[in-house]
């Protein structure tokens, strides 16, 4: 049964379980602090394909295939799959998943897509609209650079606030089995826009949306950061995390002692020249489906918050001088 908690949060009484999950990462990601935790490593940026976009589609295919194997389910066991990515019309998802023959519901939340997908799978499974559902997302450094900034051949200089788009993918298989890591609550975020226009400073653009969702969730649930074992954000990076602390301090919320950011976890910020950290749908997706869920299922964490943040921009809107609206979705994961 799904129940409303406060004005923004959903509670799942049966707590749908994540029965299988998988992460795929690129060569640079495998060289970072979390490299040993990924299920599959893609060492060739093209992954044997003709384009970076085709390569990104293979990341999703591999993540879904591996997650199904780990969950012990087959294609016909999955009722729906929720998928999205950063590319126009979400082509990494549609082209990567077209051979699975699973009912497909495309998602676009930019880098917040992993949390959005988890929210949707939980709603479908908890309501019995599905017995088993999957969610997957991905990003690729080269395909994202080509769409949002400059082709790699251009050799553009990256600003200190810029983040490195993660080449990676994460997939979760969710069912009504009562075991392991479970989805207990979820808060869908509102669109927040404080007028940031710098496409090379995603952290500053997304931090206000993250702050608003945290404020809403803590108010709805009458909890505080210290009530959780850890609090993870998707890819605010170094700049965005600092901005988040400042914004929450205005509401007397101290997040910093419990906070970890996937964009800062996946790379060695000093040694890998990624400036403010990692970003992209595949950042939160691959870290959640490796380090975070591994830590929950091992018993290291029993009650965590996972938030993914997204900048809802496009090359067209940026070219027209628009600001960058953002959104953040939050999931409460518990170990049953």
pLDDT for the residue 61: 98
pLDDT of residue 322 exceeding 50, the answer is yes
56, 194: one domain: no
Residues 6 or more apart whose CB falls under 8 angstroms from that of 104 comprise: 80, 81, 83, 93, 94, 97
Judge whether 237 and 277 are in contact, CB under 8 Å: yes
What range defines the domain where residue 270 resides? 181-335
In whole angstroms, what is the distance from residue 48 CA to residue 207 CA? 37
CATH of the domain at 163: 3.40.47.40
pLDDT for the residue 165: 84
pLDDT of residue 123 exceeding 80, the answer is yes
In whole angstroms, what is the distance from residue 239 CA to residue 245 CA? 10
Residues 6 or more apart whose CB falls under 8 angstroms from that of 297 comprise: 180, 181, 335
In whole angstroms, what is the distance from residue 188 CA to residue 117 CA? 11
73, 33: one domain: yes
Helix, strand or coil, per DSSP, at residue 161: coil
Segment among 92-101, 140-149, 209-218, 264-273 with least mean pLDDT: 140-149
Average pLDDT, the chain: 92
166, 188: one domain: no
CB burial readout 67-78, b (16+ within 10 A) else e: bbeebebeeeeb
Among 114, 142, 175, which residue terminates a domain? Answer: 175
Judge whether 199 and 158 are in contact, CB under 8 Å: no
Closest CA to 324 of 313, 309, 335, 336: 313
pLDDT tens, residue by residue, 165-219: 899 999 999 999 989 999 999 999 999 999 888 777 777 889 999 999 999 999 9
Residues 6 or more apart whose CB falls under 8 angstroms from that of 242 comprise: none
Percent of the chain at pLDDT > 70 equals: 94
169, 185: one domain: no
Closest CA to 217 of 119, 122, 125, 292: 119
236, 251: one domain: yes
Q: Where does the pLDDT of residue 151 fall: very low under 50, low under 70, confident under 90, or very high at 90 and above?
A: low
pLDDT of residue 157 exceeding 70, the answer is no
In whole angstroms, what is the distance from residue 235 CA to residue 153 CA? 26
pLDDT for the residue 148: 66
pLDDT of residue 262 exceeding 90, the answer is yes
The pTM of the full predicted model, rounded to 2 decimals, is 0.94
Judge whether 174 and 16 are in contact, CB under 8 Å: yes
42, 84: one domain: yes
Number of domains in the chain: 2
Among 151, 175, 199, which residue terminates a domain? Answer: 175
Q: Where does the pLDDT of residue 154 fall: very low under 50, low under 70, confident under 90, or very high at 90 and above?
A: very low
In whole angstroms, what is the distance from residue 115 CA to residue 149 CA? 25
pLDDT of residue 158 exceeding 90, the answer is no
**How many Å is the maximal CA-CA distance in the chain?**
53
64, 107: one domain: yes
186, 161: one domain: no
97, 14: one domain: yes
72, 138: one domain: yes
70, 91: one domain: yes
pLDDT for the residue 163: 64
Residue with the bigger pLDDT between 330 and 195: it is: 330
Residues 6 or more apart whose CB falls under 8 angstroms from that of 256 comprise: 245
- Average pLDDT, integer, range 133-138: 98
Among 153, 175, 197, which residue terminates a domain? Answer: 175
Percent of the chain at pLDDT > 90 equals: 77
40, 154: one domain: yes
Q: Secondary structure of 256-275 in the HEC alphabet?
A: HHHEEEHHHHCCCCCCCCCC
């Amino acid at each position: 049964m799904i129940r409303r908690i406060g004005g923004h949060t959903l509670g799942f009484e049966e707590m749908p379980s994540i029965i299988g999950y998988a992460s795929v990462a690129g060569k640079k990601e495998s060289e970072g602090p979390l490299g040993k935790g990924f299920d599959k490593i893609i060492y060739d940026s093209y992954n044997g394909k003709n384009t970076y976009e085709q390569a990104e589609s293979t990341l999703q295919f591999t993540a879904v295939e591996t997650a199904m194997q780990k969950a012990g389910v087959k294609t016909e066991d999955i009722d729906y799959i929720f998928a999205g990515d950063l590319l126009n019309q979400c082509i990494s998802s549609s082209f990567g998943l077209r051979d699975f023959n699973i009912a497909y519901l495309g998602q676009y939340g930019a880098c917040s897509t992993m949390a959005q997908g988890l929210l949707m799978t939980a709603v479908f499974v908890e309501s019995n609209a599905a017995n088993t559902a999957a969610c997957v997302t991905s990003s690729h450094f080269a395909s994202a650079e080509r769409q949002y900034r400059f082709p790699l051949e251009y050799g553009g200089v990256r600003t200190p606030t810029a983040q490195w788009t993660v080449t990676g993918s994460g997939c979760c298989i969710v069912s009504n089995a009562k075991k392991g890591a479970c989805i207990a609550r979820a808060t869908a975020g509102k669109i927040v826009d404080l007028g940031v226009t710098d496409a090379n400073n995603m952290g500053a653009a997304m931090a206000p949306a993250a702050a608003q969702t945290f404020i809403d969730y803590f108010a709805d649930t009458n909890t505080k950061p210290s009530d959780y074992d850890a609090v993870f954000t998707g890819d605010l990076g170094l700049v965005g995390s600092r901005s988040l602390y400042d914004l929450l301090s205005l509401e007397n919320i101290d997040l910093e002692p419990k906070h970890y950011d996937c964009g800062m976890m996946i790379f060695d910020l000093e040694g890998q020249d990624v400036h403010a950290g990692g970003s992209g749908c595949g950042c939160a997706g691959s870290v959640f489906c490796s380090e975070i869920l591994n830590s929950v299922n091992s018993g290291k964490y029993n009650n965590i918050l996972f938030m993914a943040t997204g900048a809802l921009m496009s090359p067209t809107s940026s070219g027209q001088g628009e600001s960058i609206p953002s959104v953040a979705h939050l999931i409460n994961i518990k170990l049953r």
